[in-house]
């Protein structure tokens, strides 16, 4: 359909960092939005995409595998060069400049001027869904799932808050072309965060 914002994303080449985590769910959602999705495990694969999703999973494992596969520095360079990225749950941890409660030696890619605490919502058995008000995405609340998610404990001057829980805990932030969220919209079928990411990819491309 002419003028349809989703149809405009059909030529976009977006990657999902496929080292660990819920890669398939993001790939399916992005494909449904019309993007050309590629699974990214190697630097040469990163070079072929215009934007990158860092999925939920185990941040310490993603960190270790990113170094083993030679991906840490290329992803950091892509962030510096302005590549749009969406980090969900563990992906938010990987995009944070500062970590609290990280395991010994754990590193992140960085880029978001925030401090993030890992596993802030407890164990997987304490997972829950919530309705969030996200004014930047419209008046209708978004339904999202929190699964052992992190929380943003401090937001630096360079980053801005997109959403908070009723108790004030920050769960969504953005900074330039980087978008980091504590939860899993891909599980509940919520597409607006991915649409926002694709709009950034389209503008950057």
Q: What's the CA gap between 79 and 74, in Å, rounded? A: 9
- Has 174 been annotated as catalytic? no
- Has 194 been annotated as catalytic? no
How far separated are the first and last CA of the chain, in Å rounded? 21
Marked catalytic residue, from 25, 89, 190, 194: 89
Q: What are phi and psi of 26, to 5 degrees?
A: -65, -45
- Has 26 been annotated as catalytic? no
- Pinpoint the alpha helices (H) of the chain: 23-32, 43-46, 59-68, 72-80, 90-95, 185-188, 192-204
Q: What's the CA gap between 176 and 67, in Å, rounded? A: 25
Marked catalytic residue, from 25, 26, 174, 186: 186
Within 10 angstroms of residue 101's Cβ, the number of other Cβ atoms is 12
Q: Which residues are catalytic?
A: 89, 184, 186
């Amino acid at each position: 359909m002419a003028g349809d914002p989703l149809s405009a994303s059909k030529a976009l080449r977006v990657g999902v960092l496929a080292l660990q985590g819920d890669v398939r769910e993001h790939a399916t959602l992005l494909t449904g939005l019309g993007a050309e999705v590629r699974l990214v495990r190697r630097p040469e694969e990163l070079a072929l995409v215009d934007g990158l999703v860092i999925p939920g999973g185990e941040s310490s494992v993603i960190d270790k595998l990113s170094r083993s596969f030679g991906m840490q520095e290329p992803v950091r360079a892509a962030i510096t060069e302005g590549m749009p990225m969406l980090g969900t749950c563990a992906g938010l941890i990987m995009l944070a400049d500062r970590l609290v409660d990280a395991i010994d030696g754990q590193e992140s890619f960085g880029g978001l001027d925030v401090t993030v605490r890992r596993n802030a919502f407890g164990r997987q058995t304490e997972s829950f869904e919530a309705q969030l008000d996200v004014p930047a995405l419209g008046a209708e609340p978004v339904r999202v799932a929190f699964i052992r998610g992190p929380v943003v404990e401090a937001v630096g001057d360079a980053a801005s808050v997109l959403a908070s829980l009723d108790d004030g805990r920050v769960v969504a932030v953005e900074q330039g072309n980087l978008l980091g969220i504590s939860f899993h919209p891909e599980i509940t079928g919520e597409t607006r965060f991915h649409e926002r990411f694709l709009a950034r990819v389209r503008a950057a491309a």
